[in-house]
Amino acid sequence: MASNVTFDVRFSTWREDAACLGVVEDVSFFPDPEDLSAIAQAKAICASCPVASECLTWAIETNQSEGIWGGHTPKERRSIRRRWIEEIERAS
């Protein structure tokens, strides 16, 4: 993961290629955590996104606590972030 993190997503260059930009359908990337259908809809768009990896990395590095980023829910990201921090701690 990159060490130079931009915390405001509006200034992240990868966002220009995001599949969710311009999505006019009724798709929420901040769905109710219990709404599995809405989560699946957002994840389906992320699945075709050319910058999903960059998006996920950004969300983990900046510890985004809500929303679907890089095709992952907050709970899924917490697990990835925990492993990422453990790796950093092991390496130091």
Are residues 72 and 59 in contact, defined by beta-carbon separation less than 8 angstroms? yes
Q: Report, in Å, the least distance between residue 5 CB and ligand SF4.
A: 16
Packing angle of the helix pair 36-47, 52-61 (nearest 10 deg): 120
Q: Provide the sign of the torsion angle of the four alpha carbons 67, 70, 76, 78, taken in this order.
A: negative
What residues are paired with 68 via a beta bridge?
none
Nearer to ligand SF4, 38 or 55 (CB): 55
What is the signed CA dihedral for 75, 80, 81, 84, rounded to 10 degrees?
A: 170
The distance of closest approach from Cβ of residue 86 to ligand SF4 in the complex, given in angstroms and rounded to an integer, is 24
- Smallest gap, in angstroms, from Cβ of residue 52 to ligand SF4? 4
Binding mask 29-68 for ligand SF4 (x = CB under 6 A): x---------------xx--x-xx--x------------x
Residues lying near ligand SF4 in the complex (CB under 6 A) are found at: 18-20, 29, 45-46, 49, 51-52, 55, 68-71
